[in-house]
A and B are shown apart, each in its own frame.
Chain A
Amino acid sequence: MFYLISQHDRAFSDQTRIEYGKLFRRFVLTLITLLFCVPLLFVFGSLFFSAGDIWVHLFDTVLKDYVANSIILTLGVGLCSLFLGVVPAWLVTMYRFPFSRLLEWALLLPMAMPAYIIAYSYTGFLDVAGPMQTTLRELTGLNYREYWFPEVRSLGGAIMMLSLVLYPYVYLLSRAAFIEQSVCVLEVSRTLGCNSREAFLRVALPLARPAIVVGLSLVMMETLADYGTVQYFSVSVFTTGIFRIWFGMGESVAAAQLSAVLLLFVAVLLYLERRSRRMARYHHTSSRYSQLLQKPLHGMPAFVSLLICGLPVLLGFILPFILLVNWALSTYSKVIDSEFYKLLMHSFLLALVTSMIAIFIALMMAYSNRMKATRLNKFIVSTVSMGYAIPGTVIGVGALIPFAWFDNTLDKFLYDNFGISSGLLVSGTLFTLVFAYLVRFLAISINTTEAALGKIKLVMDEVAKTAGLSVFNMIKSIHIPMMKGSLLTAILLVFVDVMKELPATLILRPFNFNTLAVKAHELANEELLAEAAVPALAIVLTGIIPVILISRSISQSRAGNA
């Protein structure tokens, strides 16, 4: 990447060379983008092929369930996260009550908990043999089947599990929106006759609405992408359907077609998200902030606020975390062996390699866009940054077909012409896996890198140039120090997401290659919840690191503390 920039710098002395450099850079970026689109093209391309009678069968049997359950699940999770996210965000921003400072960042902790892992812990907790029902029986003297108890492995349970770990998206974005609002806007509404409740409903909430909708669309996209939770709870939705049709019935074309239908749902959410982001720009109040004064609460209001903000943390993180630790303590001697270290190595290596490649590509794209925001550059960035919307299952399906075809064709060609067999070169190797991760998670590093680079004003580059710094020195002594924190965050976020990723890994991993996530999934499905706790805990503990980083950076970004 640096050499690309220094070529740009030499433009004055060597015109031809920069032309080649530019062309090369354009070529590389376009190639990456095209490669990036491969899974999508294949998923949508499948619509032009006939899958045979299977659709008639699907229509008659399960398709209705897939659609209805997916919609109920998505809307249910959206609604719950809305309440779990917005109300605490307002409370911790505007008021002071016991533990409010702690809760301000603790409310993000459930982000570290993958949905399928929280599902395992609650299943263990609430099952017939779990501590909850056992205690209940001991207290009441009733026997199993003599009382009603909610079944956690159900659609409703899935809604609860997903909401408990996804609400932080809504919390994070609405809190940022509340903080960004100039206090003057709220104050002016007071001089115009609003009391504080009306000021919230008529000014603060409408102003934060676009940001809240962005958070909500992210939550719903994640819900549609979830596989681990719904599979474990046996809820029939799109992702579980895709798995069943492909791996259960062996109908790959129909699975790809179902993926295309899922993508239509995702597209609606993506549109909603993009539109709200645009609107949010116009909902900016002035840049002049006065110090946000948090009103102290006492008595009942303080207690209720503590309850509203504390419950999501307790249920979304603390309780499942304690359960996991408890199980892990009872099984670690059995589970931690050389096999486990191999799992750890696999997960860490995959995560490290992916996050490094991601940050490299992201920097290349961001600098390209900074030097010259051509239409091509902008298109590339906006295409690639849509990847997070594509469910891992869909990427898995979309990558497996073309790569397998490529391998088979190459193998056949080589065998027919030269009598040698190339075997599987890309499909069924780590290459495909890393590729799938990149499609899904590149967006994170691009967004973070672009934001970080955007904060370095172009004027600073000009100042550096007038001070006689070479481009290399400018990047070394100005850009890198200013971006260091954000780049680290970008790397960590991708790292953790790769560690957590389940469905794409399940589809694309090489034979007999396991990661922590896959192992936890396998153990849980074999009803070995206590054994699953060790790999699950490893994932959660890694996940906490970026949460702490994010919470630190947002508490520093508080308006008026600048």
Chain B
Amino acid sequence: MHSAVETKSVSIEFDNKKILEDVSFKLAESQIASILGPSGCGKTTLLRCVAGFEHPQSGDIWVNGIRATNPQYILAVEKRDVGMMFQDYALFPHLSVAENIVFGLRDRRSLDAKSRLDELLSLFELETQAHKHPHQLSGGQQQRVAIARALAPRPRVLLLDEPFASLDVELREQLAIELRQILKKDSISTIMVSHNQLEAFAMADVIGVMDEGKLLQWDSAFNLYHKPENEKVADLIGEGVFIPGKVISETNVNTEIGVIESHIPHHFKINDEVDILIRPDDILHDDDSPMKAYVIDKAFRGANFLYTLRSAGGAKLLSLVPSHHDHEYNEAIGIRLEIDHLVVFPRRSNR
């Protein structure tokens, strides 16, 4: 079985600025991938390369097992069998909802087209909107029309560019879950570009983290969070702080908040200077703990407080604490370390 989409060392530059640098990944069929990264990191360009709107200066792209970047013949967008949904939906303002959805079907008046339309209208709960024009719809409805239109010709690969960006926060996660079910049911291989981690976590089987044109890691959400391959990924995914330490054994690192023990060997040599990633959920609040830290900031998050703490040794820490533990600024509270995955990086000089 070939992969749905594969890129090999794709690079592209505009005006001497590297937009994509040596990007390689494989998306297995019927999997959902999300490309995550800050704005301007090249994720939309990567998506447009897969769609065929941009052409890499070097490297190769296969879509549905066909080489799309043959130097003699670049496969045209309309021949790649990919559906794409744009961030602003790009609905056709002169066509009704129904006409928008069937736009990509070969014979738009056939019975097949009619039944496909009905199927999509009911799937996206748009039956009553079929004759309206885009400007008469709400944002959520427009988004659903855009996805329905992209899905109508049954593309084998679906590309989504920030599909939830223009929606209210409350709608986003719900729609992400609904969309995931639809895509999974029809086994549509999907690449979604996003800058929102929660959306990506809710939708994707696999996530690619990008920064400054480079694909840093292509992995599951769990691994990105708990086993980041480099410091940038650790920085970009989730919250956390780095604290300096010194390796004292194959599994243990000495830091100013005590010796931290790992279940798995970390491959550093004894006496190496390292940085250790501490996530907010690694630090538990325990009133009885002898180890104390001072509250220097706190942010209410509903069920939890995110406390920013300073340890006795001066290290900054983050801790997620159930919100009934409401402590004052500068109060010393008890903390306990509970680290399952020790994430160790070589010491960065400027830290």
Q: Contact residues of A with B, CB < 8 Å?
A: 182, 184-185, 187-195, 202-203, 206-207, 209, 282-288
Q: Are B83 and A191 in contact (CB under 8 A)?
A: yes
Flag if A195 contacts B78 (CB, 8 Å): yes
Closest to B93 in A: A283
CB distance B93 to A191 under 8 Å?
Answer: no
Q: How far is it, in angstroms, between the C-alpha of A190 and the C-alpha of B155 when the chains are bound?
A: 13
Assembly CA distance A62 to B94 (angstroms): 44
Which residues does chain A contribute within 8 Å of B103, judged by CB atoms? Answer: 189, 192, 202
Q: Are A193 and B92 closer than 8 Å at their CB atoms?
A: no
Q: Are A207 and B93 in contact (CB under 8 A)?
A: yes
Among B53, B87, B90, B155, point to the contact of A285 (Cβ < 8 A).
B90
In contact, A285 and B82 (Cβ under 8 angstroms) = no
B83 / chain A contacts, CB cutoff of 8 Å? 191-192
Whether the Cβ atoms of B94 and A192 lie closer than 8 Å is no
Q: Which of A194, A202, A283, A286 contacts B88 (CB 8 A)?
A: A286
Residue in A182, A190, A191, A192 with the greatest tally of chain B CB atoms within 10 Å? A191
B267 within 8 Å of A (CB atoms): no
Tally of B interface residues using CB under 8 Å: 27
Cβ–Cβ < 8 Å partners of B155 in chain A:
191
Interface check B76, CB cutoff 8 A: yes
Contacts of B89 in A (CB 8 A): 286
Chain B residues, CB < 8 A from A285 = 90, 93
Q: Does B51 contact A (CB under 8 A)?
A: yes
* Residue of B whose beta carbon sits closest to that of A187: B53
- Given the interface pairs A188-B84, A191-B150, the reply to whether A203 lies near B92 with Cβ below 8 Å is yes
**CB-nearest residue of chain A to B102:** A192
Q: Chain B contacts of A209 at CB under 8 A?
A: 94
Q: Is the CB of B149 within 8 A of A192?
A: yes
Q: Using Cβ atoms and an 8 Å threshold, which residues of chain B touch A282?
A: 93-94, 133, 135
Q: Smallest distance from the beta carbon of B318 to chain A beta carbons, Å?
A: 36
Main secondary structure on A side of the interface with B: helix
Q: Are A207 and B90 in contact (CB under 8 A)?
A: no
For A188, A194, A283, which residue has the most chain B Cβ atoms within 10 angstroms? A188
Measured between beta carbons, the chain A residues less than 8 angstroms from B76 are 190, 195
Q: Is the CB of B78 within 8 A of A194?
A: yes
Interface of B, secondary structure class, is: loop
A215 to B77: give the CA distance in the assembly, Å. Answer: 33
Binding site for A on B (CB under 8 A): 51-53, 76-78, 82-84, 86-90, 92-94, 103-104, 106, 133, 135, 149-150, 153, 155, 159
Scoring B53, B86, B89 by chain A CB atoms within 10 A of each residue's CB, the highest score goes to B86
CB distance from B12 to the nearest CB of A (A): 14
Q: When the two chains form their complex, are residues B93 and A190 in contact, meaning their CB atoms are under 8 A apart? A: no
Other-chain contact of A207, B87, B92, B104, B106 (Cβ < 8 Å): B92
When C-beta atoms are compared, the residue in chain A nearest to B51 turns out to be: A191
Chain A residues near B78 (CB-CB < 8 A): 190-195
Chain B residues whose C-beta falls within 8 Å of the C-beta of A191 in the assembled complex:
51, 77-78, 82-84, 104, 150, 155, 159
| With known contacts A191-B78, A191-B84, A192-B103, A284–B93 Cβ distance under 8 A | yes
A195 surroundings in chain B (CB, below 8 A): 76, 78
Cβ contacts A to B, 8 pairs, < 8 Å: A182-B90, A190-B52, A191-B51, A191-B82, A191-B150, A194-B78, A282-B94, A288-B87
Name, among B92, B155, B159, the residue most crowded by chain A CB atoms within 10 Å (CB to CB).
B92
The answer to whether B86 and A187 have CB atoms under 8 Å apart is yes
Q: Which residues of A contact B104 (CB under 8 A)?
A: 191-193
CB–CB A207/B94 < 8 A? yes
Chain A residue nearest to B87 (CB atoms) is A288
Closest A residue to B135 using CB positions: A282
Q: Give B190 Cβ to nearest chain A Cβ, in Å.
A: 14
A200 to chain B, nearest CB (A): 13
Contacts of B52 in A (CB 8 A): 190
**B79: nearest residue on chain A (CB-CB)?**
A193
A190 to chain B, nearest CB (A): 4
Task: For residue A461, give the distance in angstroms from its CB to the closest CB of chain B.
Answer: 28
> Closest approach, in angstroms, between the C-beta of B140 and any C-beta of chain A?
16
What CA separation (Å) do A83 and B94 show in the bound complex?
22
8 more contacts with CB within 8 A, not counting A187-B53, A192-B149, A285-B90, are: A188-B84, A190-B53, A191-B104, A192-B78, A193-B78, A207-B93, A209-B94, A282-B93
Report the minimal beta-carbon distance from B85 to chain A, rounded to whole angstroms.
8
Kindly provide the distance from the CB of B305 to the nearest chain A CB, expressed in whole angstroms. Answer: 37
- Min CB distance, B230 to chain A, in Å? 31
Contact A286 B90 (CB under 8 A): yes
CA distance A209 to B95 in the complex (A): 13
